[in-house]
Structure 1
Amino acid sequence: MQPASKLERRVVAAAEQSLTKQRHVSPLDVLTGIGWVPLGLVTDWRQGRAPHLEAVAAVPADRLAEALEAFHRWVAGRGLQPMEVEYVSATRDRRPLRFTAAGDPALELAYRTHWMPADLPQQQRARLTAKQSKLPDLVVVQPLKTFTCVSCGSTDADMLTMEDAGPVCLTCADLDHLVFLPAGDAALTRRAKQTSRLSAVVVRFSRSRKRHERQGLLVEEAAIEEAERQCLSDEDARARRRERDRQRREASDDRFQQELAEQIGRLFPGCPPERAAAISRHTGTRGSGRVGRSAAGRAFDSDAVTRAVIASVRHEDTAYDELLMAGLPREQARERIRDDIDRVIERWRHAD
């Protein structure tokens, strides 16, 4: 049965995408998939920098509740099995995370419940449960400004952890014996973390992207030395595996972009085929963050595909970019070229 509302269609597309990709789905997966809870702000919440999930959402609590209701209607229709997951913060005290401002027990439980197929083998179900219940990494911050440690009063430390009383330097947090391993070598990072008895993820706030981004790890020095030894011993094998993975990703991207172009052609039969191909390449580029790479876009949701086409028309078929270069505010520029977009879209909706 076709979902009745636009919100329901978006929720279903995000839920189906998550279930297909990871064999389970949660309310948080859906909310991030439809863009109502930005992933960067989810990180802030998980790391204890927000009081509850509603505080970082892009929509009011009543809209989140509507999405949750739509999600549960979809769950009921799919016959999925529940799995309760504990959400704890990435802080030293590992305190439980809250989803709502009111803290209603029933609603909190609804958010914590993940769903998986009823026919999933027990062994795979156990692995998923263990993975989702795993404690999050400890987090250390590289601050953009000088800070004062609330424990010792020091102002010359270059990293901090956040506690309820405020920022704490690594010495007071008993993490100063760890060594910083910069990000960049995935194998080295993974092996050093596995070997180190204690570790913490190091993040730094990006002003341009408005989110904390991973910079590396704090691990024991002996763990880095052991990880380096392991990496040297199988460097050739890992290089061959990276090349195979690259080829698989390219083949997958080609298939996705071809299917996206075909969906554009179905929704907009008047769109020239070469233009549909160009739109699919642009919006479907891996890592671009554009509409085509969203959960709805990857599921070929008609609303997401339409937004990708409109974005292309805005930049390629109107004077929008020139208006921005002339200093016109974005909203005014969009209003001025709205009719131009509507004319192109209406023409493309019908075959020549």
Structure 2
Amino acid sequence: MAGVTGRPKLQQRVFDAAEASLKRSKYLAPVELLAALGWLPDRRAELWRRGRLDALEQALEVDAGKAATAVEYLRSWAEVRQLQPVETRYLAATRDRRPLRFTLDGAEAAELAFRTHWVSPELSEKRLEQLVTRQNKAPDLVVISPEKDWACAECALKSAPGEFLFEEDGRSLCLSCADFGHLVFLPAGNAALSRRAKKESALSAVVMRFNRRRKRSERLGILVGAQALERAENQCLADEDLRARRRERDAERRASQDLVFQAAMAEQIRHLYPGCPADRAAAIAEHAGARGSGRVGRSAAGRALDEQAVRLAVVASVRHLDTPYDELLMSSVPREQARERIRDDIDRVLDGWAG
């Protein structure tokens, strides 16, 4: 099926996603493209990065052929735009830091296509160097805070939910058997302390927990050496006043950036829905784009003012404010049934706003 431009529909989707990524980050990566297309769920991608899957294609919600076609469309688009190809490494978050594979058959041409990032010529040499360094850096080791009871594969001791485990070669190990028993847990919340403690510690690991409500893994903190943590605490005490002043300036700058972003989002809403009242558009933008909210406005597509992301923000507002959706949920109506009941109400409001 061809799109409005005469291109195949998939090709147009790839080009649109590529434009948004280039505008946002000044570079394109095949793995990020697959995520933007909705084919690579975050949790499956995380399993792959932790070495739990043999190849990326096992994490995809489409067949390998379709993914390869999308990556080929990306290459052709990038070459037309005269972007610079940069080969990067993908290493697993395992002790041996083994290279991650993208395809089960491991064909070199396909592997190279997935490893290649496409960089804007506008990117400075220093920024390009930083990008390549970051992409080639081995990922952090990951320790899990599980939701259920579990038993160590080596010592067979049973542990309660929340007690940390390390997954290695498909086995769950307690911290002692994983040789992490001497490390101490530093909860998230103090970025400077965490950064310095990790830098000081010869061995460290990030502690993650899966949030079922948000359907994503969240960082709880890090495991570091006790002496490394002590040194980091002393460093933080030494420059606490300076960092406090920096935090104030950063907060002011972020607040200003949010206002600019929310104004741009409100303008995009009014562009897509000319009949939407200006104060309503501003309210939708403020709600959807609130920093730290996890709402669609804070997603990568939302920050790029992608039309679909903006439409989702508008639909969400109409659903909760202009229909009896919330009342239906409180009356124990299943979510999917409730959404089906108010679908016509949403369409009616959006059609009116669209003029």
CA distance in 1, matches of 2:183, 2:354: 60
Query: Which ranges of structure 1 fall in alignment gaps of 5 or more residues?
Result: none
Please state whether the residue corresponding to 1:328 is helix, strand or coil: coil
Cα distance in 1 between the residues matched to 2:170 and 2:285: 49
Q: What is the match of residue 245 of structure 1?
A: 250
Within 5 Å, which residues of 2 pair with 1:99-178?
Answer: 99-118=102-121, 120-155=123-158, 158-164=163-169, 166-178=171-183
Of residues 283, 289, 306, the one that matches 1:284 is 289
Give the 3 Å change call, closer, same or farther, for CA 245–39 of structure 1 in structure 2: farther
- Equivalent residue number for residue 30 of structure 1: 33
Detail structure 1 runs of 4+ shifted over 6 Å in the superposition: none
Contiguous gaps of at least 5 residues in structure 2: none
Taking structure 1 as reference, are residues 274 and 120 closer, same or farther at Cα in structure 2, changes over 3 Å only?
closer
**Corresponding residue for 1:317?**
322
Within a 5 Å distance, the mapping from 1:1-352 to structure 2 comes to 4=7, 11-118=14-121, 120-155=123-158, 158-164=163-169, 166-350=171-355
The change in CA–CA distance for 1:237 and 1:40 in structure 2 (over 3 A counts) is farther
SS in 2 for 1:197: coil
Q: Alpha-carbon deviations, 1:125-159, whole Å to 9, x = none?
A: 33322221111111222333343322333335943
Q: Percent identity?
A: 55
- Equivalent pair of 1:17/1:298 in contact (CA under 8 Å): no
Calculate the TM-score normalised by the size of structure 1. 0.89
Whole-angstrom distance in 2 between the partners of 1:311 and 1:136? 36
- Assess if the C-alpha contact under 8 Å between 2:155 and 2:177 holds in 1: yes
2: CA distance, partners of 1:205 / 1:296: 23
Distance 2:114 2:63 in 1: 16
| Shift in CA distance, 243/220, structure 1 to aligned 2, threshold 3 Å | same
CA RMSD for the aligned pairs? 2.6
1:9-35 deviation digits (Å, cap 9, x = unpaired):
654454344434444321122233344
Q: How many residues align?
A: 350
2-structure distance, mates of 1:28, 1:303: 21
Q: Is the 8 A contact 2:24 2:304 kept in 1?
A: no
Higher RCO (CA 8 Å, separation ≥ 6 residues): 1
Give the match's secondary structure for 1:171.
coil
Aligned-pair CA distance for 1:121: 4.2
Give the conservation status (yes or no) of the 8 Å contact 1:34–1:295: no
